[in-house]
Amino acid sequence: MMPPQPASVPDYQQKIKQVFAEVGKVVVGQHYMLNRLLIGLFTGGHILLEGVPGLAKTLTISTLSKVLHLHFQRVQFTPDLLPSDLVGTMIYNQNQSEFEVKKGPIFANLVLADEVNRSPAKVQSALLEAMQEKQVTIGETTYPLDLPFLVLATQNPVEQEGTYPLPEAQVDRFMMKVYVDYLKKTDELEVMRRMANMSYVGEVSPVLTKEDIFGIRQQINQVQISETLEKYIIELVFATRKPAEYDLTEFQQYVQFGVSPRASIALHRAAKAVAFLDERDYVLPEDIKEVATDVLNHRILLNYEAEADGIRTQDLIEAILRKVPIS
């Protein structure tokens, strides 16, 4: 029996359009958020969503999981969550008179870490190993996670009580931090009408398989990016570290730390994914600029003086995109 042949690029593009259509049966608007989730899925990058309650962050992720032939688990992060609740633990089997491993919800392809900033450091440490190493340690044994593995996390920027700031090392592991905004009036009107109808059920059908996802990743790897644009990415990254060298002297006093090398890798991958989703096999400068804010915003660390003067990372990124030339 011949193995199934990989789909062609047009087939993949058609399936991606189907994903948007299927998710749209349940989630109104939020095209931008879904686009970023797919970029993460197709490049192997974890995504952090931040927005006020009620913007369909959790609904979008859970609906997307139904459109994919992937194992999905949701973990509600709470202050009393233990690392063993996430990764699993050793339990004693009386019948066999020995300990055996009971794997936790982290053993999935898609893991929704809901309100990720509500759990203490030990839980974050366990999640960090899974995100970076694609493995977890239970007792003295390390277990690899099934691929693809992706953490899609949400956090609420409003409530501070009972939350823990995420460690910088963990924040840096997220490929993008996406700020989810309110819906447009027309979209919110549609949401209201749907939800007012208590019998409404949005049924979705699976579209993408694991093989499709790996195939799309191979196609994205083949998207061409010129040396000029690669150097442009490096200049953007270095401008966050030493703004004064890029005619951004007014920001120098506010920057405590610029972005890490993971930012340049993430920008490179994300720009290729944007080009692929736009049905191109080459990267344009606009592709890099489109994802720059989401890739850089959570990696720039400003000092207290910036907070006092009302300077945001968004202000610095916008200034960098204006000032740094493509040479």
Q: pLDDT (tens digit, 9 = 90+) per residue, 162-209? A: 577 787 888 889 999 999 888 889 988 988 888 777 666 678 888 999
**What does the longest C-alpha to C-alpha distance in the chain come to?**
71
CA-to-CA distance for 116 and 57, rounded, in angstroms? 13
Q: Which three-class secondary structure state does DSSP give residue 220?
A: helix
Q: What is the pTM of this model?
A: 0.90
CA-to-CA distance for 293 and 30, rounded, in angstroms? 17
Q: Is 298 exposed, middle or buried (0-12, 13-18, 19+ CB in 10 A)?
A: buried
The per-residue pLDDT for 3 is 46
CA 283 from chain centre, in angstroms, equals: 21
Query: In this structure, what token pair is assigned to residue 210?
Result: 């694991």
Among the listed residues 163, 89, 90, the one whose alpha carbon sits nearest the alpha carbon of residue 124: 163
CA-to-CA distance for 152 and 266, rounded, in angstroms? 16
Q: pLDDT (tens digit, 9 = 90+) per residue, 101-155? A: 788 899 999 999 998 888 888 888 888 888 888 988 887 788 899 889 999 998 8
- Contacts (Cβ under 8 Å, ≥6 apart) of 82: 122, 123
The per-residue pLDDT for 84 is 87
The per-residue pLDDT for 162 is 59
- Contacts (Cβ under 8 Å, ≥6 apart) of 214: 148
The per-residue pLDDT for 122 is 85
Q: In the chain, what are the domains?
A: 9-211 (3.40.50.300), 223-323 (1.10.8.80)
pLDDT category at 4 given cuts 50, 70, 90 is low
Rg of the chain (C-alpha set): 21
CA-to-CA distance for 267 and 262, rounded, in angstroms? 9
Q: pLDDT (tens digit, 9 = 90+) per residue, 262-279? A: 999 999 999 999 999 999
Query: In this structure, what token pair is assigned to residue 169?
Result: 């090392």
Among the listed residues 83, 178, 74, 89, the one whose alpha carbon sits nearest the alpha carbon of residue 127: 83
pLDDT-above-90 percentage for the chain? 51
